[in-house]
Chain A
Amino acid sequence: MFNFISGVKKRLWGRGGMVWGLLLALPLTAVCQVPVPAPPKASGRCVEDTQFMRRNHMMLLFKKRNETMRQGIRTPTHSLKKCIECHAQRLPDGSYRPVTDEGQFCRECHSYAGVHPDCFDCHATTPDAPAHGQ
């Protein structure tokens, strides 16, 4: 029994399995015409590796929010406020496009993944105007 299972696993995950998997996937990609998200570029360099951020940004935001709110640690790294400052697109008139607008940074990937981020039910979607000194 064990040999049978490991044999199936080998076939699925081995080189032959991968070829079969790719052959199966080709017609699927032809059917599903969902474009891969292409979020706009940020104005600065991210504090973490892109691949790490794609998987773990929520964990970092959870940790940072509790530190900020409960302990008053307002360092910029991993704070939602700083993320938005960097990722919100600036318009020629000096204003910002909300990160939740169609095609904008947060919306682009979350729409693709079918996830609704609750952050912006409360949090601002653009950086503060410079007049407030923030």
Chain B
Amino acid sequence: MTTEYQGRIEIEPVQTGEIEPGRRGFLGIMTAAVAGSGLSWIALARAPDAPVDDKSRWGILIDATKCPADCTACVTACNTENALLGHNRPTSDAQWLRKVQLKDKATGRTLSLPVGCQHCKSPPCVDVCPTGASFRRADGIVLVDKHICIGCRYCMMACPYKARSFGHEETHGQKPHSPRGKGTVEACTLCVHRVDAGQNPACVDACQQKGHGAMIFGDLNDPNSPIAKRLATEPSTQLREVLNLNTGVRYQGL
């Protein structure tokens, strides 16, 4: 069981019940089936026709010390996965994930890290949205309902992370899983279509394929998930932690 407080996650020991033999056998078969099919356990955590619930809370842990300054694999993967085809206008093209370079002026230490929607537990974008288009799914993923977004861009002003973009121009070549168009606000969806299919977000997979392993994705509420174990044992920070937004994206090595 996990209890979440504002800005900090505390993990309590899990009370494991006795599993009867038949059920254990079934679970064993299912685990083998999952391992064989290459899907992670989260794929079977929910039936396809069951709504998401707050038992899970998805998040990403980004280790900035493992993120090379010249690598933009995560950004490229994001743009490809969601067909963020720009118009070669950097000031207005959509940008769901960007690389940020930091430099400590006192010591000269430089850092590079990807920044996108932080999937806050108390998202300011949801607070200010006048139509209810900006919303937080039960499992912690912050999304825009583009059907009812009126393009007022209050959420873009409210977001402390500059995570949202506006569709300034007509869009073509969309992917079926990532509809996007003119006149609405958009941002990182945590690759919700992949998460619902039991996969990692595209940026996390790209980082792992590059061999950097700077990003891990998982359920913050599951004490056995690699991300929760890392957060429980190693120091981590949220960007702009003083705002008490309880972000789903956490950083190490800042």
**Residues on A facing B (Cβ under 8 Å):** 65, 67, 69-75, 81, 84, 121-124, 127-128, 132, 134
Contacts and interface: CB of A to CB of B under 8 A. Distances in A.
A21 to B, nearest CB: 40
A65 B145 CA distance: 10
B23 interface: no
B17 interface: no
B240 interface: no
Nearest to A74: B196
Interface stretch (B44-52, B65-73, B90-98, B204-212): B44-52
A72 B192 contact: yes
Most chain B Cβ neighbours within 10 Å, of A69, A122, A128 = A122
Interface of B: 46, 48-52, 135, 137-139, 143, 145-147, 170-171, 174-177, 179-182, 184, 192-193, 196-197
* 4 nearest A-B pairs in the assembled complex, by CB-CB distance: A122-B181, A71-B51, A122-B179, A72-B52
The B interface, classified by DSSP as helix, strand, loop or mixed, is loop
A70 B179 contact: no
B138 to A, nearest CB: 8
B144 to A, nearest CB: 9
A124 B48 CA distance: 23
Given A65-B147, A69-B145, A122 B174 contact: yes
A69 B147 CA distance: 10
B176 A123 contact: yes
A127 B176 CA distance: 7
A56 B138 CA distance: 29
Nearest to A119: B179
Given A121-B182, A122-B180, A122-B181, A69 B143 contact: yes
Contact of A132 (B46, B52, B135, B175): B175
Contact of A123 (B46, B174, B192): B174
Contact of B176 (A69, A71, A75, A124): A124
A121 B176 contact: no
Contact of B51 (A65, A72, A128): A72
A74 B48 contact: yes
